[in-house]
Each structure stands twice: as C-alpha cells, then as structure tokens.
Structure 1
C-alpha cells in the first residue's frame, strides 16, 4: 500500500506485507527511510534485518532484494524537508543501517497514526510536529554534511542529464547522446555507467517513469502520462512503472489525493 500526503512536501509512505522484494538498480530523488518489520532486506552489499532502519540518499544507485517474504515500510522524504529540519546542509548518513529501537518504534507509531487519521486539521498539525521531531533526532544523531552534493557534478554530466530530461518524450538515440560528449557509442555506454551508475537505457527509462509518476500526481490520465513521458503505450509504461515503483500506475493514482495542506513545507 502506498500513501501520498499533501503535507511535508508531499511525504509518501509505501508499505509491503509478506512479499518478496526485487527491484533492479535505480534511484529516487528523495531520501528513503525504511523500517524492516519482518525478514531481511538486501540493498547492494548491505543487509538490513528485522527491527533495523535502512536509509537511501537521493540519487544513490541501489538494488533491493529479499530471499524470502518480507514486511517493510518506507518513508519517501524530499531533500527540502530534510534540509529544513536537519542541522546539516545536504545531509548524508555515514551509517545507512541504524539500530535504534526508540526511533524505529516512533516511526512505526507514526505510520499507525497516518493510517488512523481522523480530523484533517488536527491530523496535519500533529503529523508535522511528530515528523519534525523524529527527523531532527535522526539527522542530529546519525547525519552529517555531504561534501559531494550534486553542485559538484561536472558541467558535462549536468548538461547531458538536462538534455535527456528535456527530451524524454522523443526517441533518444544512444548514438546521438554519445555525440554530445564526442564519444562513440560503446565508449559512451562505458563512460555513462561509470559516472552515473546506470546504463544510458536504464537511466532514460527510470527518468521516464519518474516523469510519468509526476504527471499522475498532477492528475493527468495514465494514458497521457505514459505517452508524454516517452512510452509508446500504456502497457509498456505500466510494466516499467511497476518494476521501479513497486505498484501499478492505477494503484498509485488512487493514493495521490489524500490530504491537502496549504501551509505545508
């Protein structure tokens, strides 16, 4: 189940119950704070067991798997929210796996509070207060300033990413992309994977899914989101969406209109 709250910069909460987790290499533009409630989650070389918190940073390439059925919940928290609450600019967590039963229980209880929401105004005020306290404790105790933020990324990579983002609804040719950086096709694929962590094809498909997801958030019909983000039909879009997001576009769309908070961060 996924919930999107129109507060705290559209905080999202994803919950899986007794399912196998298998996600290919990907990234998110948010911090991902996951609570492992049952089983073992594998993320790259890390192993997060029941009762642990595992954190992924924005744009950090990671792959998730589980060897057996697992139950977990993930908070997707925007960079702006973390930077607003955290005492550090561009917060990074040196230890991505955190064992803190008190913080785990507070985040778990917050999920129950979200599920049991009642009066909207009271709910949003209490949610903002509780979430701010938890994130401040988490970043203060386990966070630090990230010296390698996106501002240090080379102009060539930034320019290439911008070109891809501006042309997602067109047919992006690997050969044409390679020409932008004066490389042949195979040099470019190796260079791209080394610098970005994904192949050009993986990166483009993930960006298309992200853009389609943002259109669904804005209320666009799924078929329009599919075509406008560069997929040739809704079925193709749905397959990649489920592969990277963990649920179908239609289920995601149902979760996108829960609360409106004009005073959110």
Structure 2
C-alpha cells in the first residue's frame, strides 16, 4: 500500500517534511526551490539527475540542490520508504551564518551520500518534527544535521572544525541543572553562553558525551523516576517534570531505563 504525508511544523515554517512509501508511483521531471534532503528507510529510490540514472539504497541519503531538475521512481521491487526535508535556502543561510569557522556554502556536492552518523541524525530530526518533542531536541538535532551535512558533504567539505568552548559547555551544564523542569530553547542557551548554537552543541558533547537536549531529557527522567518512586501518578509526573505530554514522557523514560513508566515497580 502506498502512503504519503506532507506537512510543516509550526515552529519551523522554513522546513517542509514528507514521509512516504511508494511502490509504483513515479515523479515526473520537476524541481524544488528548496534543498531536498532525504533518508531511504527501506527499499531503494531511483533518480534521473544531471544526466545520470542513480540508485539510492536503504540507509543512504539523497541530496538534491535547489532548482535541479530530477525524477523519482522505485529502484527495487518493493518500492521505497523514505523521509524528506525541503529546506528553504534563506533559512539555511541564516542558520549557517553562525556555524563558526570558514563560511559554509549551502550546496551539496553529491546526490547520493553514505554517512551512517548523518543518516541517524536526520532520521531522529524528522521524527522529532513529526511527534511531540522538546524545542531543545528539535533545534539541537537541526543544528547537528546541518553542520555535519555541509561540513562533510558541502562544496567546502575540507573546512576545519572550529575550536571548542569548554567554559560555554560548563555554563550550559549548570543552566540545565537549574532549569531542568523547563522547555529550554537553544536561543536561551546562546544568550546564556554568548556562543553560537553550533559551537555550544559541539563543545557540550565533547565535554559531557551527550548533546544538551539529551542531557536535559536525562535530568527529566531521573527526576521522574524519583517522582514515581514517591507514589506520584504518571500524568502528574509528566507535567511536573516538563515533558511535552504523557507519550513524550513514556517514550523517553523507556529509552533511559528499558521499561515504560507503567512497568516501573518501586516495591
């Protein structure tokens, strides 16, 4: 069965998202005004692009620059399942302006990319824009995806990574400890540290082994566990700990402890 869904997240109007499974459908020749980046979750997509017929298998990334004419069709008998991002070029320019180091040009060199780390980040970002997630989660994943995409696969892929800012990482660490109940934003952390979001994410991960949003979620689930142990209900715990909703709480609790909160036993 073929399925497809196209939408925009209200907090990220410069990004259009597509989630689809196609078996017989074929795109006619067309182009996008946006940068199109997609992850092939299953099967394979065929692509006519720049005079070549390409095959993008599962676990690979497809990248089509703005205004490039192309098609899309099943590259395997079972078709293909994929998730696409359509990034507004103006949004990309604004975000990459503060990436640090030599300027990054928002143009991708190759249409087929095999980069497991980037694939995982893009998939996580797409899901975070599809289901309830903290703003810090969405914004951190977006920054990580864009930096890796353009620093490793852009036209200036040899640009060096900017230096770390350990003091900024410490300030983020302390701020999140003091405000773990809140839905902290990257804008707030930029204000607190004076560092760009790219630099503070990079520096925090190098210092503590996780990104700021992962650290915030770990703080929330640790406090949630104590709340459940004290006899509080799942709903009250989810609200008190600042989760988006109960499903967001349950999903992240299970990721941390291996069981959903409903299966957590204290005695």
Higher relative contact order (CA 8 A, sep 6+): 1
Structure 1 or 2, whichever has the larger Rg, is 2
